[in-house]
Amino acid sequence: MKKIAPTILPAVVAGLALAATTLVGPPATAQELQRPDGWSVRFDDPSSSEGDLQMFVEMPPGWHVTSGPAAVYWGPGMEATGDFRVEMEVFLFDPGRRREAFGIFVGGRDMEGDAVEYSYFLVRNGGEFIVKRREGPEAPTVLPWTAHPAILSFADREEDSATIKNVLVVEAREETVRFFVNGAEVASVPRDQFGTDGTLGFRVNHGLDLHVSKLEASPLS
């Protein structure tokens, strides 16, 4: 088995749900935005810039994003190859009527160039998931939007909570890639349909307020 980058973030997540209401303050201006050290952001629209982001900051445990245009986010050393598992724990704040998507990407190549490639597994409010690829300017769909009861929506939160948590997992094995939400397998595809080796990180579409409390990669034996 090929080696994988070490764990990205320790699983220090206890108490986040109780503290969630304190995570969001007034939106940051472009001048106030402080991208976490070493992190990169790539927008779908080449005309977009980091000035279009309201907030992207390190906020232990994890990172807080109040997005503008759709983009992918990745930090230094975030790479995986061979057989591996990537887990993302993410808290969604009130999306209003928006059903924009968020989740994991893997298999990133030429992330700063015109020939960019990556594969992604996203969920959205309303309890649906999608599996897609990015191939330069194209974004072919591997699996279309599909409902699954394991995916929690903002309406599923507890009465006094400002947020709802979902845990997403991508498992890349020799022949198959499997996708999980909150411990339930929601889909799988042949590995040759879903590029896996390369840069990994998370994707956030338009106008969402999220806290990513965990983004962790580990090898599969």
Q: Which residue ranges form the domains of the chain, and what is each CATH number?
A: 31-219 (2.60.120.560)
- Report whether pLDDT(13) > 60: no
The pLDDT assigned to 34 comes to 67
Cβ–Cβ under 8 Å, residues 146 and 128: yes
pLDDT at 50: 84
Q: How deeply is 159 buried, as exposed, middle or buried, from its count of CB atoms within 10 A (0-12, 13-18, 19+)? A: exposed
Residue 66: how many other CB atoms lie within 10 Å:
21
User: pLDDT band at 20, cuts 50/70/90?
Assistant: very low
Residue 84 has pLDDT above 50, yes or no: yes
**Residue 16: how many CB atoms within 10 A of its CB?**
20
pLDDT tens-digit readout, 34-62: 679 999 999 999 999 888 999 999 999 99
| pTM, full prediction | 0.86
pLDDT at 146 > cutoff 50: yes
Q: What is the DSSP letter of 154?
A: G
pLDDT for residue 168? 98
Longest CA span, the chain: 46
Check the CA dihedral 138-46-205-16 and report its sign.
Answer: positive
What is residue 101's predicted lDDT score, i.e. its pLDDT? 98
Overall residue count recorded for the chain in this entry: 221
Say whether pLDDT at 179 is over 60: yes
Q: Compare 182 and 12 and report the one with higher pLDDT.
A: 182
Judging by beta carbons within 10 Å of its beta carbon (0-12, 13-18, 19+), is residue 1 exposed, middle or buried? exposed
14 versus 130: which is more confidently predicted? 130
The pLDDT value given to residue 57: 95
- Report the DSSP beta bridge partners of residue 147: 128
Among residues 50, 33, 23, 27, the alpha carbon closest in space to that of 212 is found at 23
Q: Mean pLDDT throughout 3-9?
A: 38
Provide the mean pLDDT of the chain.
Answer: 87
The tens digit of pLDDT for each residue in 87-125 reads 999 999 999 988 999 999 999 999 999 999 999 999 999
